[in-house]
Amino acid sequence: MGDILDLSIKSFEGKVRTATGTLGSTVTGDLATITASGSKDMYLAKAQASIKNTGGLVDGDIEVVLKVNNTIVDRWFSNLSKNVNIGGNLGNKYNFAIGFKVTTGQIIKLEVIIAASNVGIAGSLEVFEEDTGVSPQIPSV
């Protein structure tokens, strides 16, 4: 409950930013990207990816990575070979490591490295920003 309340307070203060994206079957590349604003430090509060069958026989692997300034800090790899689940959510979701900090102009992103056939991948990032040099404080309620 504390994390949800903390993010709600940051959202009320106008400090929360989000990025979402989806990529279709066999498509690789950037899924979601956020760049820290000028004179701001940015903290990663949530990073998540999920997969969904887009119809047909699912075959292959998926790999999604979390990058901070182009350095891989976490990865999700799943082997989906011969998964016959036709249509709908495959029940696979991954919560990436959080708490990373970047400064003005630096980037946090989710990137699809490997994409299986008949699988759509969705991703989301949630961050909050503070003025550069200010320690993130969560007011008591």
Q: Which fold has domain 2-131?
A: Jelly Rolls (2.60.120)
Domain residue ranges in the chain: 2-131
What is the per-residue pLDDT for 54?
83
How is residue 81 annotated by DSSP?
T
Please give the residue that has the higher pLDDT: either 53 or 105.
Answer: 105
Q: How far, in Å, are 13, 37, 123 from residue 113 at the CA level?
A: 35, 27, 13
Average per-residue pLDDT for the chain: 84
Listed in sequence order, the DSSP H helices in the chain are 2-12
pLDDT in tens, 28-57: 999 999 999 999 999 999 999 998 888 877
Q: Phi and psi at residue 58, in whole multiples of 5°? A: -80, 130
pTM: 0.82
Residue 29 pairs with which residues in a beta bridge? 112
Helix/strand number for the chain, H first, E second: 1, 9
